[in-house]
Every structure is written in C-alpha cells, then in structure tokens.
Amino acid sequence: MPELPEVERVRQSLAARAVGRGVRAVEVRRPGVVRGDRSTTALLAGHRITAIERLGKQLAILGSPVDTTMGEEPRCLCIHLGMTGSLCVVTNDNSPRKHIHVVWHLDDGSRIEFRDPRRFGGIWVYPNKAELLKHRWRHLGADALRISPAELYAALHQTRRPIKAALLDQEIIAGLGNIYVDELLFGCGIHPLSRSDRLSLEQFRGLVPRMKRLLRRAITAGGSSLRDYVDANGQAGEFQLSHRVYGRRGLPCRTCGKALSHTRVGGRMTVFCVSCQKRY
C-alpha cells in the first residue's frame, strides 16, 4: 500500500523518465477511475509533462501545451494510488497486464500505465495546479516530511482521539499510513491507543525528527513492497525487511523478545509491543 515513501519513490522514478516528454495520446480504458473532465486534452494529450509533485500520498502531474497557440493553460492531474495503484513507464509490448485503466503514450515511444486492481485510487483532473490546491489538496495537512513539532502538537493536543487514529488522519498530517504509523509509534515507545492530548510538545520534538528519519530511510530503501508496490521502473522496495512491528503480530519484539500484541484502531490492524510502548 503506497504511503509517503512509496509515493515519493514513484514520483522520483516517474519524473526521471517522463518530465520533458510530450504526450501524444491518452487511452482511457476504464473511465470510472477519472473524476472530472475525461477528455484526452484534459488528461494531458498534446501537452509536455513539466513536473511531478507530491503532497502526502498524492501526486500531481503538471503539463503545458506543446502547441502554445492552443492556449497557455498549464494542466494538472492529481493521482492517488490508493491501496494497489501503480504508475509504470514501459517501452515494450510485454504481457498484457490486467487492470490497466489509463495509458499515456509519450513522444519517445514509451508509455505510462496507470494500473489499480482494487480501484481505491483514481485520477482527478484540474485545469491547473491552483485549482488542485484550492480544492482537493486544501483538505490535507502538512506533509509528514515538512511538518514541525509545534505544528503537529497544535493539531493534536486538543483532541482525545488515540494517537494512531490522529496520525492516520490526512487532514492532520499527510503521508502516513498503517505501516509507518505502527513503525513510528514503536520507534517512539508510544502505545497506539495513547490519547493525543496527553502527549507533550516535548514528545513531539522527539517524534517528528524520528518520523522524518524513518520516512527517509524507507525512501532510501526503495519503500515497502508487501504485495503490489513497485516504482515507475517496476522495481520493488526492500524496507519491509526492516519492519519491526507491521505484519509481525505474535512474533517476538525485536527489542525485548516478548510476543507482539495486536488490536484494532479505527478499524485498522495495529501491532505493538505492550512492554516497549507506554500508554499515555
């Protein structure tokens, strides 16, 4: 499930292969995944890809018209990979893979394939980046790699929700998902059911740098590949090998050896160590 590190990996690998390229044609095989204007022009046909940006777990693909007489409007696509989405750049006519919903044909003969078996992801079409910022991205909190301890504390000290539920809330902080929240809370020694308002600014001064270090290490390792995740080159990550709690319920804690506990928080599987993580 692509969270911030995986989405950042996709951003980097996709940018390396697609920025500067022109889009010759766009194929929409399953229109339902596209929200808004489904015309191929709105989906960047006849445009040059100028940048690929990220906020939390979402990507924005920006494009300018190749023929400037057509109008100057720089287009913007927002792509959310959901649980199983991927964006791959391919050059050959290999095995026709299932669940490819949208294909961008580029001017060097390669193509970008948006594949999403479970279809929790999607593509949101905007006339420009300002509109994306004004609507869809307005509801997102600060990016997890940029947020400050004071900012996070300000958002959390006034809610009684369990810390795990609050950290998963993209309106509070953008980018964390089930894997990295469990890993982070274990790394900080904080029980996932701790009340958010019981944590001090001092604790966030410890948590935020740890979070950024965790996410950066995961990015360097290529992200966590559990089942579907691959970057734009089809490359899987290796950070799953470093997980200390996610997916390890019942297994011995790597710090104290005690069997890891599990519960559900906000409907999500939560794994933690009852002796290494203190409940506030």
Binding mask 199-228 for DNA (x = CB under 7 A): ----------------------------x-
Residue 56 touches DNA, criterion: CB under 7 A: yes
Residue 85 touches DNA, criterion: CB under 7 A: no
User: What's the CA gap between 66 and 22, in Å, rounded?
Assistant: 7
Span of 9-17, 107-115, 170-178, 252-260 interacting with DNA by CB under 7 A: 170-178
Query: Which of 72, 160, 241, 250: binder of DNA (CB under 7 A)?
Result: 160
- Measure CA of the first residue to CA of the last residue in the chain; give whole Å: 29
Span of 8-16, 87-95, 230-238, 259-267 interacting with DNA by CB under 7 A: 259-267
User: What's the CA gap between 101 and 166, in Å, rounded?
Assistant: 33
Cβ atoms within 10 Å of 209's Cβ, excluding its own: 11
Residue 162 touches DNA, criterion: CB under 7 A: yes
Beta bridge partners of 259: 252
Angle 119-14-218 (CA atoms, 0-180°, nearest 5)?
80
Residue 99 touches DNA, criterion: CB under 7 A: yes
Task: Give CA separation, 268 vs 58, 101, 177, in Å.
Answer: 21, 28, 10
Residue 41 touches DNA, criterion: CB under 7 A: no
Query: Which of 40, 159, 233, 235: binder of DNA (CB under 7 A)?
Result: 159
Q: Is 198 a catalytic residue?
A: no
The phi-psi region of residue 143 (left if phi > 0; otherwise alpha if psi is between -120 and 50; otherwise beta) is beta
Of residues 13 and 84, the one with the C-beta less far from DNA: 84
Which of 9, 11, 48, 57 is catalytic? The answer is 57
